[in-house]
Each structure stands twice: as structure tokens, then as C-alpha cells.
Amino acid sequence: MADIVKIFDTTLRDGEQSPGASMNSEEKIQIAKQLEKLGVDIIEAGFAAASPGDFDAIRRISEVIKESTVCSLARALEGDIRAAGEAIAPARHKRIHTFIATSPIHMEYKLRMAPEQVIERAVQAVRYAREFVDDVEFSCEDAGRSEMEFLKEIIDAVIEAGASTINIPDTVGYRFPHEMGEMIKELKEFIGERAVISVHCHNDLGLAVANSLYSVLNGARQVECTINGLGERAGNAAMEEIVMAIKTRRDIFGEIDTRINTKEIYPTSRLVAAITGIEPQPNKAIVGKNAFAHESGIHQDGVLKHQQTYEIMRAEDIGLDRNAIVLGKHSGRHAFKRRVQELGFDLDEGELKRAFERFKLLADKKKEITDDDIRMLITSELSSAPEVFKLKKLQINDCSEGVPSAAVTIEHEGREITDAGIGDGTIDAIFKTIDRVSGYKGRLKDYQVTAVSQGKDALAKVVVKVVFEEGREAVIGHGLSIDTMIASAKAYVSALNSYLSMKALLQGERGDSGKESI
């Protein structure tokens, strides 16, 4: 019998806290479905009290996910716990994850609470969470810098109150693997079988995966991690690295295993990269573009003679299909539909029809359509924001001698509006002209462009972050085209549509003023 380590994925919550990684509800649902296919035990779908958008995404994920447990984060506050409980209510398997800081520095300066008050609050939070669900996880935030005796005291109290998973986060990525291992060993001796010990490691010193693995070797039976190691600052522990390390080093881990279907690792990584616009670095372990590429002649020769000369894992084991069929101009609807399904997308007839039309348009311009192109074609249209404004035409004049200018046609309420303007550069001219046409003035905070595939006909994906109203959170927009300028214009218009949709949502039921951060 395998000794299972539960995989708790927090790509949709801690991962989303990566700068530029905000996702809309539709995008989160696609990722959640893929995480379920990957075999993740628990999906942390968000932080319900943070914003109406987060609440909506968690609720909708709870309605569609059947195998994995759906979890919402909640501070140790009544309002947060109630929002979490309501958001996950439709889920078949549900969990509330509540937390409070336990390190001296956090308690004194952030919470301004005495240690006894922190324990009291934690106990109340767990008891209240148990009114909504049986499965409650409690996290000692900044446990990596907390005192062992205090940790034991609070852990005792929350287990007594009904928590069945105790999470030990190294919130600031401070610990070294041997220290993390010693801490988990001592806590395992203390907790015994009363609760599952979980770890949640951040990567500030590049040790998140090593710290998670040492924790597993010392008794942790849940690891919290993200796809591609996404997450705030230097990110969280990368799931693919943890899972493949356990699978590859059976000599070290023995009976310890996970329930992850490793063949879904690569497709999941690509989906998350396509949706967030954040590409893993090329030399990233397991899922980087070069992770299984051999450049030097000596290595190539060795691998051809015997694969294991330079490879400790097989590309097929992570679902990297080096011979993937490439679609093209002559591929029909059936071939396209099959590939879309194989890539893990669950589209209704209308969505499939629209995606196929976009595929045909692209195939006219691009000889080979890769899996990444298809993922982009689908995910770039995944928006819950209605298209209040729609880009119809773009014409630019970026001659190096003259003043950059752009002419833009936008459809709004059934009418086409055209205008032209100038700017400090071509992109600036495009965005300023869209501002004039729409009547909304945006301030660009971030602009990223990525080539989806290789070659001169590669698709360009543009992600912009724009503030349309001072004091409000920046919104994200995505645009995709073979032409970078058109992708930029689409991204800017999509950000404007997201802003209008968010504004409508906020003015609706709750009247919240913006997204709270933890």
C-alpha cells in the first residue's frame, strides 16, 4: 500500500498573487478542470472574501469539480469564513482553510495581538469554520519564523477545536531543508495521528521544493504548491518538481507516492502559461522548454545510444509529446475538435464553432498550428467580461522619421466609431487613440509580449495591466494575433472590457471598494 502525500494546489490562490497573473472566472474554471484531470487532491480555488470576482470563481468551480476537494482561504475572521463557506457550498468535497500569523514579528507588528489573543482567535475561527464543513485546515502563517513552543500550543488548541490538517508555511522562504525537516519531525512526534501535517514553502532562497521534500521525508503528508512555481515574489514550491522528484527517487522515498497522473503535468503547465501569460524560464526543471533538449553533440550522441545516459526521466512521463501532430490549413473540424479535447478543454458547441473559425483564420496565415497555438486560441477568448467595446480595424504609421500614429475603429453599442491619434511610440499612439474612441482614459502599468511558438509566423500574446480609474485596482487584458500591434490593441480593449465588467459587479450586490490583499 502506497503511503500517499496529498497534493494541495494553490495556483488559483497563491499563484494568482504573482504580479500579472490575475485570471478571470472562466480561465480559473478551465485551470481547475485540468487540475482535477491531473489528479490534484485539493484545489485552493481562491480567497472568497477578497472580492466578488474571487467569490464567483470559487462558487462556479465548486459547481463543476467532482473528484478533487475545493477549498477557499479565509483569514481568522467571521466574515471571511462565512464568505468561504458560502462560496464552496455547492462542492461535493469541500474544505475551509483558515490562518493567522504565529511569528513574534507578525503578531507584534502586523496583528498587534498578544499570543494568547492569537490562540483565542484561531480557536474561534476553526470552530466557526466547522459550522460550514467537516474538513478544516489551519495554517500558522510565518511558521518558519515562529517559536516551537508557541506552535505546539496553538496547534493543540486548533486540533481540539476541530482542525484536521495543520499547515506549516515557510511564508518568507527563510528555512533551510535540514531545519525544515527537523521542525516537521518534532511536530510529527507532537501531533501524531491527530491531524495531517502540511507544508507550504515559498521560494525566496530557491529552496521551496527542497524544503517541501525534506518535510515529506520527516512526516508531512500534504504539500502545498503551484504549477510552474507561480506565486508571490519568488513563487511557491513547484508541483511538477515535487511530484517528479518523489517519482524518480524511489530509492529515497520508498512507499511514499502521490496520486498525480504525471502525464498531465506538461499539458497543465502549458495551460497555466497560456492563461497567465507567464512562461516558465527555458531552463526550468521538468517543464521548461529546454528541460528535455540536448544541445551538445556528446549529449545527443549519448541519448541516442542509450536514453538514460543523460536523462533521468522520460519526456513521455510528464506528457511531453515530442511527435505531437501539428494541424494546418487542411485540417477539418473533426481533427480540430479531437485535438481540443485531447488538450483538456471542455467547450460547448458554440465555443467550439467560434474557436474553429479563429483556427481557420490563423491557418490561412500560419503553416503549422501547434498545441500551444490552439491553447492560446481558446484561452485568449475565455473572458467573463462582456465585449462592450470590440476592436474592428487598426491601421498604423510607425515610419522612423515621422510621428507614430494610429487609426482605430471600434464597435460600441452596434455602431462603428473611427478616430486617429499620435503618440510617443506606436503602442502609445494605439492606446491613446483607443482612449479617445472609447472615452475612457487608461494608465498603462505593465506591458508584456510573448511569442507563443517559434518562427516568423509565431503568434504574439500581449498582456497589459491598466488602471482606468485612480484608486481602483489595475485590470488585466490579453490579446492574441500574428501581428504584435493588433495583439496589443486587442489586449488594451480587453482590459477596458474587464474594467467595465468589474465596475458593474462591484456596484452590484456587495458594494465592495476593491480587492483586499492578504
DSSP-derived secondary structure for 335-376: HHHHHHHHTT----HHHHHHHHHHHHHHHHH-S-B-HHHHHH
Does the protein bind ligand KIV through residue 200 (CB under 6 A)? yes
DSSP-derived secondary structure for 450-507: EESSSSTT--EEEEEEEESSTTSPPEEEEEEESSHHHHHHHHHHHHHHHHHHHHHHHH
Given ligand KIV, Zn ion, none, residue 375, with its beta carbon under 5 to 8 Å by kind, binds none
Cell numbers at 269, concatenated: 503547465
CB of 474 vs ligand KIV, minimal distance in Å: 22
Residues between 176 and 235 with contacts to Zn ion, criterion CB under 5 A: none
* Distance in angstroms (rounded) separating the CA atoms of residues 122 and 143: 14
Residue 180 or 434 with smaller CB distance to ligand KIV = 180
CB of 137 vs ligand KIV, minimal distance in Å: 9
What own/partner pairs with CB < 8 Å and gap ≥ 24 does 398-407 have? 398/425, 398/426, 404/428, 404/429, 405/429, 406/430, 406/432, 406/433, 407/433
* Distance in angstroms (rounded) separating the CA atoms of residues 437 and 390: 11
Residue span 109-148 as binding mask against ligand KIV, x where in contact by CB under 6 A, dash where not: ------------------------------x-x-------
Does the protein bind ligand KIV through residue 14 (CB under 6 A)? yes
**Which of these segments, 7-15, 78-86, 244-252, 301-309, binds Zn ion (CB under 5 A)?**
7-15
Does the protein bind ligand KIV through residue 94 (CB under 6 A)? no
DSSP code of 106? I
CB of 324 vs Zn ion, minimal distance in Å: 34
Q: How many residues lie near Zn ion (CB under 5 A)?
A: 1
Amino acid at 214: Y
Does the protein bind Zn ion through residue 14 (CB under 5 A)? yes
Residues between 119 and 158 with contacts to Zn ion, criterion CB under 5 A: none
**Which of these segments, 19-27, 126-134, 163-171, 294-302, binds ligand KIV (CB under 6 A)?**
163-171
**Which of these segments, 166-174, 267-275, 367-375, 497-505, binds ligand KIV (CB under 6 A)?**
166-174
Does the protein bind Zn ion through residue 241 (CB under 5 A)? no
Does the protein bind Zn ion through residue 16 (CB under 5 A)? no
Residue whose C-alpha cell is 498531465: 264
The residues that touch Zn ion, with contacts defined as CB under 5 A, are: 14
Chain residues in the site for ligand KIV (CB under 6 A): 14, 99, 139, 141, 167, 169, 171, 200, 202
